[in-house]
Amino acid sequence: MASSGEEASSGSPGRVGTGTDPSCLESAMASSAQQDSVEDFEVLEEDEDDLSELPPLEDMGRARAPPREDAQSLEQGTGEAAEDPQEWLDVLGSGLLKKKTLVPGQGVESRPRKGQEVTIRLRATLEDGSVVEENPGLTFTLGDCDVLQALDLCVQLLEMGETALIVSDAKYCYGAQGRSPDIPPNAALTLEVELLEARDAPDLELLSGKEKIGLANRKRERGNFYYQQADYVLAINSYDIALKVISSSSKVDFSPDEEAELLDVKVKCLNNLAASQLKLDHYEAALKSCNLVLEHQPGNIKALFRKGKVLAQQGEYREAIPILKAALKLEPSNKTIHTELSKLVKKHADQKTVETEMYRKMLGNPSAGSAPVKCKDKLPWSIPWKWLFGATAIALGGVALSVVIAARN
């Protein structure tokens, strides 16, 4: 998986930025327009006007970088080093992520800490030696999952000035989806990394409105990337970080426009957070996220739809139906809401039938088909002979008892 860094760049793996090649941007815009035309509420919150912020990194077309002369020598060097397992550090103990020091650094005490901003020089190649990424200054927050997991896990093991070779399985890079057009699905990568700088992250309280908006959007876009990779846990992590940035206190005054934009980013993060939580069946958390959106925007259709869906998953059809009807009233032509509402109405009817039958059995009321047929010949005033015999016996018993008592007196 990959990442957005602190600055937009088209040369960083998995980063979601705005510094994209124009031809790539046109391709992405066309892809987005096609997505928006078939809105099914699985599409995440995007900026309708600014199409440069599209989340699916794998759809951001880019030209394949031509193989460099030294790519083959790097690959050969990697193969030779791999033959000597003692020179490699098995980072996770599974053999899927390995690190080897090429140039020593300044000592263990110079290693960066989580939460710091680090800058690295990066060169990434496929197994055939093709160079797919080169960035002389990739900057990101260590530990925030802003970049490939292989980088996030290994850079914290680098010493300042160290150059290392990292060999990673696709699981910690671009996974089963790859990155179109240059990284195929399930592709392992070899990363040459040099740690250039590590510094404390900026104080959120001192960020300007534009800086805070930009940082929150980068975290949100990273969450969108993970969502499209079907890694919903990491998506939730990125949305949570974005929300923490937005909700952090500030010593800087923001303009009304900046306040409105921050609120817009917050709503998008909450909506996308609810979508990710739904994918993991975290219904209570998803319901809370939807309610937070509706506090700010009571007419937010996606939040209404997802809230109705959460309640339906919990079997609360009676509560879910009015919410979906409210969403449908706001957008009558939406086929997704129509379909979901129709399913809920049917499920609610079936539920009512089951409940009615259950109550009938609990109260001991026989069903209409099993009710005994009354005799039409019997007169309404007729008395059963058993009752008559019992009454006569009781009367005679009473008389006998009175005689006995009188005799004793």
Q: For 360, which DSSP code?
A: H
Asked if residue 125 lies in contact with residue 132, where contact means CB atoms within 8 angstroms, the answer is: yes
118 phi/psi in degrees, rounded to 5: -120, 150
Could you tell me the strand order of the sheet in which 97-103 lies? Answer: 89-90, 97-103, 163-168, 189-199, 117-125, 131-141
Q: How far apart are CA 287 and CA 273, in angstroms?
A: 10
Instruction: Specify the residue for token string 């088209």.
Output: 10
Single-letter residue type at 115: G
- Residue type at 401? L
Using DSSP, state whether 205 is helix, strand or coil.
helix
Q: For residue 322, is the peptide bond before it cis, meaning its omega torsion is within 30 degrees of 0? A: no
Q: Are 172 and 137 in contact (CB under 8 A)?
A: no
What does the alpha-carbon distance between residue 43 and residue 397 come to, in Å, rounded to a whole number? Answer: 86
Do 20 and 10 contact (CB within 8 A), yes or no? yes
pLDDT 10s per residue in the chain (409 long)? 444 333 333 333 343 333 334 333 344 334 333 333 334 455 566 654 333 333 333 333 333 334 444 434 444 444 444 444 458 999 999 999 999 999 999 999 999 999 999 999 999 999 999 999 999 999 999 999 999 999 999 999 999 999 999 999 999 999 998 998 999 999 999 999 999 999 999 999 999 999 999 999 999 999 999 998 899 999 999 999 999 999 999 999 999 999 999 999 999 999 999 999 999 999 999 999 999 999 999 999 999 999 999 999 998 888 999 999 999 999 999 898 988 888 888 877 766 676 676 777 777 665 544 454 444 444 444 455 555 566 666 666 665 666 556 666 5
| CATH class given for the domain over 84-201 | alpha beta
Question: For residue 370, which amino acid is it?
Answer: S
Give the whole-angstrom CA distance, residue 126 versus residue 291: 45
Domain ranges of the chain: 84-201
* Angstrom distance (rounded) from CA 311 to CA 159: 51
Cis, bond preceding 181 (omega within 30 deg of 0): yes
Identity of the amino acid at 102: L
Please tell me the pTM assigned to this model: 0.67
The answer to whether 46 and 55 have CB atoms below 8 angstroms apart is yes
pLDDT of residue 392: 63
CA distance 18 to 7: 9
CA–CA dist 300, 6 (Å, integer): 30
Cβ of 164: how many Cβ atoms within 10 Å?
Answer: 23
Minimal CA–CA distance to 275: which of 316, 224, 322? 224
What is the rounded distance in angstroms from the CA atom of residue 207 to the CA atom of residue 61? 33
Spell out a b/e string for 203-233, using b for 16 or more CB atoms within 10 Å of the CB, else e: ebeebebeebbbbbbbbbbbbbbbbbbebbe
Beta bridge partners, 89, equal 99
Contact 84, 149 (CB under 8 A): no
| Alpha carbons 291 and 270: distance in angstroms, whole number | 9
